[in-house]
Amino acid sequence: MSFPTETEGFQVDGPGNPPEFHRRSFKLKPVGDYDVDIKIDACGVCGSDVHTVTGGWGKQNFPLCVGHEIVGHAVRVGPKVTLVKEGQRVGVGAQVYSCGDCKQCREDNETYCQVNLINTYGSEWPGTGIISQGGLASHIRTHEHWVFPIPDALSTKTVAPMLCAGITVYSPLVRHGAGKGKKVGIVGIGGIGHFGIMFAKALGAETWAISRSRAKESEAYKLGADGFIATAEEGWEVPHRCTFDLIVNCANSSSGFDLAKYLSLMDVHGRWMSVGMPEEEGQVIKAQNLVSNGVLIGASHLGSRREMLDMLQLAASNGLEGVVEELKLGEEGLKEAMLRMKKGDVRYRFTLTGYDAVFG
Amino acid sequence: MSFPTETEGFQVDGPGNPPEFHRRSFKLKPVGDYDVDIKIDACGVCGSDVHTVTGGWGKQNFPLCVGHEIVGHAVRVGPKVTLVKEGQRVGVGAQVYSCGDCKQCREDNETYCQVNLINTYGSEWPGTGIISQGGLASHIRTHEHWVFPIPDALSTKTVAPMLCAGITVYSPLVRHGAGKGKKVGIVGIGGIGHFGIMFAKALGAETWAISRSRAKESEAYKLGADGFIATAEEGWEVPHRCTFDLIVNCANSSSGFDLAKYLSLMDVHGRWMSVGMPEEEGQVIKAQNLVSNGVLIGASHLGSRREMLDMLQLAASNGLEGVVEELKLGEEGLKEAMLRMKKGDVRYRFTLTGYDAVFG
């Protein structure tokens, strides 16, 4: 079995507005015994991609091929691979490696590995000088632990965004107790939030969608929401004070956000978990704001392999699929995706397809 | 059985630096069937008292008698009182009433009651126009739920500060898992923090004292610390990154505090709980700061009756007592206590005694 050293894809050479994508070849990581080579069929477009290619998150390892909601087929597997079969349809998310050996990795917290955490794009594969490259490419190679078999019931196009947007909200939901008898809120009905509503409901929680206006109200109910709160309405927080067990804040901007009001929604020791990563400066928090209900504030980073497989199974069992708009891979499709994402002009996620037409 | 309508104590008429205390009579709450009248023997001096009488916390209901670490004897009990016996030595902390009926109260979260939470001083007893008054007084009256029998093994002088400082750190310790196999840190070795070290150790946790310099190192070990971290030392955080399960921040100031470094100490989903209430503006928190370990940030408000009784029993069983300096009640003693507290010139708490000499 021969392994290639390069693949072909679309890179940006630095931040741009609009970003310019260039088709070219770049190096894959050196092959390892546990590695799986994947021929890519589709890739979702994540807010992280937009922040990265437009410079909102600052310095990155350019030139860079972004994209980390990848679905494809395993075309070669290393000799020690047991978790993935050649030919299997698989997904890759936003992380492609961790040390596997530290306390965090051993406890299913591999997305919090402190030793050797490799992002799907923009991290150096240690000791190689090679920067990891994402899914706007013909192929990707990584360790089997980070390659997830996709249940047959899920379509390639709609499952792609689950691999980052989905797991990003699924993990804090299950880690912080979403389930029967719990009142759970999802702030921000977008790429991440629309999965949050579906998953919270599927996990059995009383699920509330929390949005600025009522523009997405009927869609929120279709996604599974039991209730809807519009925060542009005077006194919106009053009937819900001290009642939520968990709110996952999926909003991608923190400007004009009256955090104290949101926190007043939480029951004693309720969890306010943020999974959006706004480009703005953070928010001022005083201990005084947290005292009246003992609320806990946190954030979350992706989810473990175990959670990823559980999420995909939950989606397959409940017929859940991402609400996606399909765009064709290529310089133009990519530019459109990034610009429209930046404006928030998408309901709720783009999936790039047409890989065969581009790469053959 | 006759119940008086007034008691005598020391009030301030407004914030002052130094504060001026005036001895005078003021109204007790109207008597209720569940009320206990307590003749006060001693009262600890809390940071809250200082913030209140020097104006750091802004507008309060003046004139006001502060003090909420109260030890005395029950001298009269209402006809329906079952939790306290006449003549019994008892304590009162920083809260004297809650509705007793809401979800929070029913779940041992009465210090988070959203309906009717009465602080020991400065709150209006509903519908009466009477402002609650604290322990720098001859007597106090309140509902039996907020009156705690003191085990014989504990001395009046050293147990007084447990009733606010102690419970303030005890509750987050037990609620957030301090115990065997857990690594727990206490930031700030002062009135609250010195109890934190004792209690974390008594609960079975590996206990680390975290202080700016090494000035209090030997005292920290005497209190029960297993280890000591001095944050003025370069690279102090490095050996402890991602290892703490719980840190209770008892520091009373947030200026010059590099929160991101402290948060890097936490293991995945570790809890960073603040119980100090600094007068400064809060700290800017970005979701990005919380992502690498999924740390949870929170605060805490006192502790339930059940926790108060458990804490007193833990102290009695383990021979734990507050490290206190005794001052005599009176205009001069009070002024000295407030000024020295403001400067941090106390190891680690003042208890005011000599009530008999003042009130007979």
Chain segment B344-359, per-residue pLDDT in tens: 899 999 999 999 999 9
pLDDT at A61: 92
A114 Cβ under 8 Å from any chain B Cβ: yes
* CB spacing of B287 vs A299 below 8 angstroms: yes
Q: In what order do the strands lie in the sheet with A266-274?
A: A227-230, A206-211, A183-187, A244-249, A266-274, A296-299, B296-299, B266-274, B244-249, B183-187, B206-211, B227-230
Output phi, psi for B117, to 5 deg.
-100, 115
Scan for tokens 């050649």, then name that residue.
Answer: A86
pTM of the full structure: 0.95
A238 Cβ under 8 Å from any chain B Cβ: no
Output phi, psi for B132, to 5 deg.
-65, 145
- Strand ranges in chain A using DSSP code E only, listed in sequence order: 6-11, 22-27, 35-45, 70-77, 89-92, 95-97, 118-119, 124-125, 130-131, 139-143, 148-149, 183-187, 206-211, 227-230, 244-249, 266-274, 283-285, 296-299, 324-328, 349-353
pLDDT in tens, B161-189: 999 999 999 999 999 999 999 999 999 99
For the segment B327-332, the average pLDDT, to the nearest whole number, is 96
Query: What string of pLDDT tens digits covers the 360 residues of chain A?
Result: 578 999 999 999 999 988 999 999 999 999 999 999 999 999 999 999 999 999 877 778 999 999 999 999 999 999 999 999 999 999 999 999 999 999 999 999 999 999 999 999 999 999 999 999 999 999 999 999 999 999 999 999 999 999 999 999 999 999 999 999 999 999 999 999 999 999 999 999 999 999 999 999 999 999 999 999 999 999 999 999 999 999 999 987 777 788 889 999 999 999 999 997 766 667 777 777 888 999 999 999 999 999 999 999 999 999 999 999 999 999 999 999 999 999 989 999 999 999 999 998
Asked if omega into A18 is within 30° of 0 (cis), the reply is yes
* CB spacing of B293 vs A112 below 8 angstroms: yes
pLDDT at A167: 98
Give the residue from chain B lying closest to A298, CA to CA. Answer: B296
* CB spacing of A296 vs B300 below 8 angstroms: no
C-alpha B51/C-alpha B56 separation (Å) is: 5
* In the predicted structure, residue B334 carries a pLDDT above the cut 70: yes
C-alpha B253/C-alpha B80 separation (Å) is: 44
A276 Cβ under 8 Å from any chain B Cβ: yes
Helix (H, G, I), strand (E, B) or coil at B140: strand
| Residues ≥6 apart with Cβ < 8 Å to A328 | A352, A353, A354, A357
**Mutation for testing the B interface, residue in A245, A253, A268 having most B CBs under 10 Å:** A268
Nearest C-alpha neighbor of A263 from the set A282, A280, A247, A284? A247
Cα separations in angstroms, A253 against A44, A69, A283, A321: 20, 22, 11, 25
- Residue B279 is given by DSSP the state S
A215 Cβ under 8 Å from any chain B Cβ: no
- Token duo for residue B25: 């009579």
* In the predicted structure, residue B204 carries a pLDDT above the cut 80: yes
ipTM, interface predicted TM-score of the complex:
0.92
pLDDT at A132: 98
* CB spacing of B104 vs A292 below 8 angstroms: no
Mean pLDDT of chain B: 95
**Domains of chain A as residue ranges with CATH:** 6-163+321-359 (3.90.180.10), 165-299 (3.40.50.720)
A300 Cβ under 8 Å from any chain B Cβ: yes
Residue of A112, A278, A284 with shortest CB distance to B294: A112
* In the predicted structure, residue B306 carries a pLDDT above the cut 80: yes
Nearest C-alpha neighbor of B68 from the set B323, B339, B349? B349
Output phi, psi for B357, to 5 deg.
-65, -30
* CB spacing of A296 vs B271 below 8 angstroms: yes
For the segment B48-55, the average pLDDT, to the nearest whole number, is 92
Q: Please say whether the beta carbons of A100 and A110 come within 8 A.
A: yes
Residue of B241, B269, B283 with shortest CB distance to A284: B283
- Strand ranges in B98-205 using DSSP code E only, listed in sequence order: 118-119, 124-125, 130-131, 139-143, 148-149, 183-187
